[in-house]
Chain A
Amino acid sequence: MIVPFGHVLILAGILFLMGMFCAVTRRNLIMIVLGIEIMLNAASIVFVGAALRWHHLEGQVFVVFILAVAATEVSVGLALIVYAYLRTGSFDPGTYNLLK
C-alpha cells in the first residue's frame, strides 16, 4: 500500500489553490499562464491517483489529453502574450486599454 486516497486529493487541492492564487493575484501575463499550468498539473495528479484507486487505465488516458490541451494552450497563449507585448510594451493586463 502507499497512502490513503484522501491524501492524494488534499495534495492536489493545495496545488490547485496555489495555481489559482498565482493566476488571480499576479499582474504579469506570463505568471498567469504559469498558474494555469499548475492547475492543470494538479488535475492530472488527481487523475493518475484515481486510476490507481480504481485500477482502471481510463484516468491515465485522460492525462494524455490534459498534456495535449496544456501544450495547445501554452503555444497559443504565449503567441498572444508576445503579440500584446509588441502592441503595448507591457505584460501588465491593466495597461491593455487601447480601446479607451
Chain B
Amino acid sequence: MTIYSIIFYILALLILVSTGLAITRRNLVHAVIYLIFSFFGSALLFYLFGAPLLAVLEVIIYAGAIMILFLFIIMMVKVEASVERMFPLNQWLPAAGIGLMYLAIGALIVSSAPGKDIPLEMAFADPKEFGQYLFQRHWLSIEIVSLLLLIALIGALHLGRRRREEKIEEKP
C-alpha cells in the first residue's frame, strides 16, 4: 500500500461522508456547503488520477459557479417559509431497498469482472497536451457544446423575462 492508495481511500471517505451529510440536511444552505466540500474532494481525486486541468475546472465550475448559483437561488426566495414535507417512512423505504439491491449487484459485478485487479498506474496529462488533443480531435463536439450553452443562456433569459411581463399584465 503506497501513499497514493492511502490518499485515495481518505479522499473517498471524505467525499462519501460529505455527500451523505449533504443529502440528509433539512437546511438547503447547509446541504449546498457540504456538497461544495464533496466537490473539492472530487477535484483532489481528479488531480490524483492525473487530470490537473479537470481538477481546476471542477473547482471553478462545479464548486464555484454551479453551487454559488444554487446559493443565489436559495437566498433569493424564502425557503424557510415553506417547510419541506418528507415522505413517510414506508414510502421511501422501497427506494432505499431497491438502491441497496442495485449496490449489492453492482459490487458483485465489479468484484467478478475481469481486469478488476489491474492496478492504476500513476500518470499525468499535461494541460497543454490535453487542450491540444481536445481541440484537434473533438473540435466539432466543442462547437456543439458551446451551442448548447448558448441555448441555455437564451432559455434562462427567456424564462426570466416572461415572468416580468406577466406581472405587468396582472396589475391592471
Which residues of A, 1-40, contact B by the 8 Å Cβ criterion?
A: 1-11, 13-15, 17-22, 24-28, 30-31, 33-35, 37-38
In angstroms, Cα B57 to Cα A68, docked, is 11
| Interface of B, helix, strand, loop or mixed by DSSP | helix
B155–A14 touching, CB < 8 Å: no
B107: A residues at CB distance < 8 A: 10, 13
User: Contact: B121 with A30, CB < 8 Å?
Assistant: no
Q: Which of B12, B15, B42, B120 has the most CB of A within 10 A?
A: B120
A28 CA / B79 CA spacing, docked (Å): 10
Q: Is the CB of B111 within 8 A of A34?
A: no
Q: Which chain B residues lie closer than 8 Å to A71 at the CB level?
A: 61, 65-66, 149, 152
Chain B residues in 8 Å Cβ range of A24: 92, 95
Q: Which of B1-41 contact A (CB under 8 A)?
A: 2, 4-5, 8-9, 12, 15-16, 19-20, 22-23, 28, 31-32, 35, 38-39
Known: A15-B19, A21-B95, A48-B49. A57 touches B133 (CB 8 A): yes
Give the complex CA separation of A72 and B66 in angstroms. Answer: 10
CB-CB contacts of B128-172 with A at 8 A, as 1s and 0s? 011001100110010001101101110110011011000000000
Q: With the chains together, A20 CA to B83 CA distance in Å?
A: 22
Q: Return chain B residues, CB-CB under 8 Å to A11.
A: 12, 15-16
